[in-house]
Amino acid sequence: MKKSATLLALAFWMAAACALAADTIVFGAAISITGKTAKEGEYTRDGYQFAIDKINELGGIKVGGKTYKLEMKYYDDETKPERTAQLIEKLINEDKVNLILGPYGSSPTGTAAPICERYKIPMVEANGSAESIFSKGYKYTFMILSPAKLYLRGIIDAVRSKDPKVKTVAILGENESFSKEVAGGAAEYAKEKGLSVVYDELYPTNAQDVSALLTAIKGKNADIILGSGHLQDSLLIVKQSKDLGVSPKAMGFSVGPSSPEFRANLGKSADYIFGATQWTEALKYNGDDPWKTPKAFGDAFRAKHPNYKSIPYQVAESAVAVIAYQKAIEKAASLDPTKVRDALAAIDVMTYYGKVKFDSRGVNIYKPMAAEQYQPDGNKYTVWPADVAEKPPLYPMPAWDKR
């Protein structure tokens, strides 16, 4: 009796699974819901889900006369790249998802890419901008983002627009693939613009004390301090700079300031600090997608998630990955992974997020990076590029003890 009940349940489950598979496109993702980048992982998941819900609300995706609803199946990769790889393999093999959405972070993306390549399942990733991922000739991985080495350029440009004579820059970065590329790109660009890089070092992941690095930087009197790590690193660097009285003329970070938690954790200490950003609501794009403009996207997202005051760029870039799939699937008129892949390779579309078009490696080099700054009136403004800036950048940053 018990056995037949189990069998019956199994039969129902299989029927349900088949019904589901029949008119649903399932995206698989391994996202850091816990671990070091748990917060960014949350943004990523919310962004994916927001776009999926929106497309479903508008009727779904039409493929050859048949309409499909979208669905996401995700697991927590615990911010462990090796776990990401296992989960992607599970999603493809056991869960039989149709397509893959990228994890959060360059290292997990780097381990997910070869798996997708092996099974020839495309992955559009929105949160791993290290170009090293794309130097291996993968054909199935596509990056929505501007690549890592461009991250801090906007901040350097913003500072130079206020002070063309600015001379020295110190760079400290987390020792992992994305942050290393950000730091390397910033150093290269600074030198190109005639600045001298007086300090350029990496600290280990999960550092809980960077006073040693800041002490060395203090001795070099750098005009600009640039940090390339993640949110917690940027908070640590600001806190300890204040502790140690390290007061450069400008301070900026690749990741951190874009998150609302930056202000929440630093209060007034966040003032004058620059943040690199892939996207802000202030940018003026007019795209061909359900929201069309950055502002409309921001408003729609806030309406659904009232706990977000400002929209972190991770949300916007994650959502646009789903939009890229929508466009590609419609164009391919097929769910065959290889055909979707080919459509992605040829995509050229303007969105609320900026232009989405990939070079031969799968990197979106067609969208610029912007810079934001926290200002003493309590708000964060887009300050670069100048033509879309909400306010001019404030410079120099007053010393910690003179505020």
Partner 1 sequence: MSSAELGQIAVNALLLSGILALVALGFSLVWGIMNIVNLSHGAFIVLGAYLTFWMYAIWKIDPFVSIPISMAVMFGLGYLIQRSLINQVIRAPLLATFLLTFGLEILIVNLINYFFKADTRSVQPAYSGTGFTLGPVRVPYIRLGALFVSLALVLALGAFLNRSRLGRAIRATGMDLDAARLSGVKVATIYGLTFAIGAALAGAAGSLLSTQVAFDPNLGGPYTQRAFVICVLGGLGNVVNVLIGAALYAVIEVVVGSRLPALSQAVTFGILVLLLIVRPQGIAGKGFY
Residues 6+ apart with CB under 8 A from 257: 234, 270, 273, 274, 275, 276, 277, 372, 374, 380
Cα(106)–Cα(318) distance, integer angstroms: 14
CA angle 353, 279, 151 (to 5 degrees): 125
The reply to whether 218 sits near partner 1 by the rule CB under 8 A is: yes
Would you say 281 and 260 are in contact if contact means Cβ atoms under 8 Å apart?
no
Stretch that binds partner 1, among 2-10, 100-108, 262-270, 337-345 (CB under 8 A): 262-270
Cis peptide leading into residue 164 (ω within 30°)? no
Nearer to partner 1, 34 or 286 (CB): 34
Cα 333 → chain centroid: 29
CA angle 141, 230, 39 (to 5 degrees): 80
The reply to whether 244 sits near partner 1 by the rule CB under 8 A is: yes
Q: Quick one: tokens of 28?
A: 């698989």
The reply to whether 200 sits near partner 1 by the rule CB under 8 A is: no
Stretch that binds partner 1, among 118-126, 210-218, 357-365, 370-378 (CB under 8 A): 210-218
The minimum distance between CB 344 and partner 1, in angstroms, equals 31
The reply to whether 87 sits near partner 1 by the rule CB under 8 A is: no
The reply to whether 215 sits near partner 1 by the rule CB under 8 A is: yes
The minimum distance between CB 28 and partner 1, in angstroms, equals 22
The reply to whether 242 sits near partner 1 by the rule CB under 8 A is: yes
The reply to whether 270 sits near partner 1 by the rule CB under 8 A is: no
The reply to whether 335 sits near partner 1 by the rule CB under 8 A is: no
| Count of chain residues binding partner 1 (CB under 8 A) | 44
The minimum distance between CB 159 and partner 1, in angstroms, equals 23
Burial code of 187-200, b = ≥16 C-beta within 10 A, e = fewer? bebbeeeebebbbb
The reply to whether 400 sits near partner 1 by the rule CB under 8 A is: yes
Cα(384)–Cα(363) distance, integer angstroms: 23
The minimum distance between CB 403 and partner 1, in angstroms, equals 10
Please name which of 351, 342, 331 lies closest in space to residue 122, comparing C-alpha atoms: 342
The reply to whether 232 sits near partner 1 by the rule CB under 8 A is: yes
The reply to whether 82 sits near partner 1 by the rule CB under 8 A is: no
How many CB atoms lie under 10 A from the CB of residue 76? 17
* Residues binding partner 1 (CB under 8 A): 33-36, 38-39, 41-42, 79, 172, 175, 201-204, 206-213, 215-216, 218-219, 231-232, 235-236, 239, 242-245, 259, 261, 264-267, 269, 400
